[in-house]
Amino acid sequence: MFSLKQCRARPTIVFRHPPWPPSPTTAPCLDPRQPIEEEKTPYYHPSQFYPARLGQILNDRYQLATKLGYGSSSTVWLARDLHCWRWSRERYVAIKINTSNHHTHNDAAENELAILQHISRMNRSHEGWNFVRRLLDSFTIEGVSGQHLCLVLEPLREPLWLYRRRFIGGVVPSDVLKITVQMILHGLDYLHSDCQIIHTDLKPDNVLVKFEDPTILERDVRDEYQHPLPQKLVTGRTIYLSRNNYGPFLVPTGVVQIADSGLSVLGTTSRNGCIQAEIYRTPEVVLDAGYTYSADIWSFGVMLWDLLEGKALFSPVDTRKDGDYDDHIHLAQMTALMGPPPEYLLARGRRTSKFFYPNGQLKSLELVPKDFSFENAITMLSSEEKSMFIGFVKKNGEVGPGKPKFSKGVIKGSLAVHGF
């Protein structure tokens, strides 16, 4: 409960949801010698992670209730918002606690904060505003090795790679995919047109599905409180297991949001360099020819195969090198699918000479697969629906001079013409 001192300082606090007391159940202990969760990430250093504890109240407002996930530079927690009125339903938020400011990923955290602040204050009337994850609050907390930036966000259910596994065969049915495609494209149009932001890392991991029923969160929070998952006790810190698998959906189609803006950049200046996960990488990035908003559209198009086919469109790996990514093989597969790159793209590429002869011919033509086409890359659709999908992908896959992004008219027109 609230203390007398707190009530005197803030009289309205008695009308807020009170903090829960510590769980009456002792959690089972895990073997301290076995690494779990964030301990398995590259370059893990325990002192850089904030020692968050379930039941802890952050920023005098948010009480940590369950752990949602982790990464190499953050942990994510579900928290009760204690600023809600007692007579209202519990409100839950997701809090991303970044590693301390001595960590090499700190610049990415600060960039994500700036991008989220920019996204959150733009045009709320845009159709895509609801399909982009936005910032609710932010604050810093002091840790043993510096400050930790905390981002407060809406809790989301799961990424698209997990969502597709909810369906038969591990693929999203075409009728559901059509709706999902519209939401993602509207979200991208909002980022590109109104926010002038290039996401740069669009993939199934970074598009998340919203909760279809808020009571799901309440159920998991109560379960963690009454039946806590096993924990690992280490010096100065408890490492918790994540609760992030909420089971089958109660409705067939989930609302999605584009998330994880830590690598996003403003599209108002010229951009060069390497972006995107390898299999979603656009040809201009492979050639280092500079990139713009269309890089996101390319990633989006490639991502559709993950959802519709349950496998990647490209497999640019060299079996002779332990299956490592090979950009020469990647370009060869792109050439088989779409034909040779246009001259303007080759002329701009700083790495063009590594892959192409001066006449525009790809080096090592034997790498080009003979039977790789849109037609045989799609097995889950047939007849007219298959033709419409191919037409849709080709239309939205166009990039070139004077086409830095896709206007709302192009998106709507393409969706209408191709039945999406």
> Which residues fall in the annotated binding site for ATP?
96
Burial class (CB in 10 A: 0-12, 13-18, 19+), 3: exposed
CB 97 within 8 A of CB 74: yes
Active-site residue identified among 194, 201, 260, 296: 201
| Whole-number Å distance between alpha carbons of 105 and 109 | 7
- Kindly report the number of other CB atoms within 10 A of residue 14's CB atom: 12
81 annotated active-site: no
| Whole-number Å distance between alpha carbons of 156 and 142 | 27
Write the CB contacts of 187 (distance below 8 Å, at least 6 apart in sequence): 128, 131, 132, 256, 257, 258
Closest CA to 72 of 119, 20, 25, 109: 109
Residues forming beta bridges with residue 57, ordered by sequence position: 63
Using only C-alpha atoms, the chain has a radius of gyration, in whole angstroms, of 24
> How much of the chain is in helix, strand and coil states, percent to nearest 5?
40, 20, 45
Question: Which residue in this structure is represented by tokens 């300082």?
Answer: 9
| Whole-number Å distance between alpha carbons of 44 and 29 | 21
CB 123 within 8 A of CB 190: yes
- Kindly report the number of other CB atoms within 10 A of residue 159's CB atom: 20
Q: How many residues does the chain have?
A: 420
Considering only the C-alpha atoms of the chain, give the largest distance between any 2 of them, rounded to a whole number of Å: 81
Backbone angles phi, psi at 196, to 5 degrees: 55, 45
Q: What 3-state DSSP class applies to 363?
A: coil
Ordered DSSP codes for 316-334: -EEGGGTTEE-HHHHHHHH
Residues taking part in catalysis: 201
